[in-house]
């Protein structure tokens, strides 16, 4: 029988919540600035992209501590998901430093596909162990499933991801805000 009150302590919840929100800004502005023709602005974009990858990595490291208490496989898989995402999103910076000729989206689509697939079991664990409210965990499962499908279709040349990422994107914002504002258990 499930408990009515969520009593699970999420280690480093406020830091994780802040990172969930800040990665949108870091990657969004980073990509925008990275496409600039001005070298100085391009470097600012590269720094923001690398900052995004660092925060993504720390989301995985910090959230793993909580997930390991309930399912070691999910905790480790989620960390791997975030490591892959961090590296794949940072790959575009090689264009600037190594003069490698790769597409700006080279790492983005695989990173998002892996993020979607790796976040589904994480959200199922949130649901199963009532780590978050039921509605939030189920929204994550559905949102990331749709998200992953959209990015899988990108690999087959179907430009669907922009239409199917909104549910997971809004979930990440909501989850980040929930982590920032939730009360710690006493």
On the 0-12 / 13-18 / 19+ scale of CB atoms within 10 A, 101 is exposed
pTM for the full model?
A: 0.89
**Using one digit for the tens of pLDDT, what is the confidence trace for 6-16?**
557 888 999 99
Q: Give pLDDT, residue 3.
A: 47
Categorize the per-residue pLDDT at 98 as very low, low, confident or very high, splitting at 50, 70 and 90.
confident
Question: Tell me: the pLDDT tens digits for 126-147?
Answer: 999 999 999 999 999 999 999 9
Q: How confident is the model at residue 85 (pLDDT cuts 50, 70, 90)?
A: very high
The ranges assigned to domains in the chain are 13-181
Across 15-152, the runs of DSSP E, i.e. the strands, are none
pLDDT at position 7? 54
CA geometry: angle 130, 134, 137, nearest 5 deg: 90
Work out the average pLDDT over 48-66.
97
- 103-129 per-position pLDDT tens digit: 767 789 999 999 999 999 999 999 999
Residue of higher predicted confidence among 98 and 78: 78
Pairwise CA distance, residues 85 & 50, whole Å? 12
């Amino acid at each position: 029988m499930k408990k009515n009150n969520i009593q699970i302590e999420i280690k480093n919840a406020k830091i994780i919540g802040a990172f969930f929100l800040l990665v949108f800004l870091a990657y969004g502005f980073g990509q925008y600035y990275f496409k600039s023709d001005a070298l100085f602005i391009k470097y600012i974009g590269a720094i923001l992209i690398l900052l995004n990858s660092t925060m993504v990595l720390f989301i995985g490291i910090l959230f793993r501590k909580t997930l390991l208490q309930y399912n070691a496989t999910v905790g480790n898989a989620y960390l791997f998901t975030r490591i892959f995402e961090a590296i794949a999103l940072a790959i575009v910076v090689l264009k600037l430093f190594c003069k490698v000729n790769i597409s700006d989206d080279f790492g983005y689509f695989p990173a998002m596909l892996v993020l979607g697939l790796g976040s589904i079991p994480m959200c199922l664990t949130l649901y199963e162990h009532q780590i978050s409210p039921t509605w939030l965990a189920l929204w994550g499962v559905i949102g990331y499933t749709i998200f992953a499908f959209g990015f899988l279709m990108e690999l087959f040349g179907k430009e669907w991801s922009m239409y199917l990422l909104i549910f997971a994107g809004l979930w990440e914002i909501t989850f980040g805000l929930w982590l920032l504002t939730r009360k710690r258990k006493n």
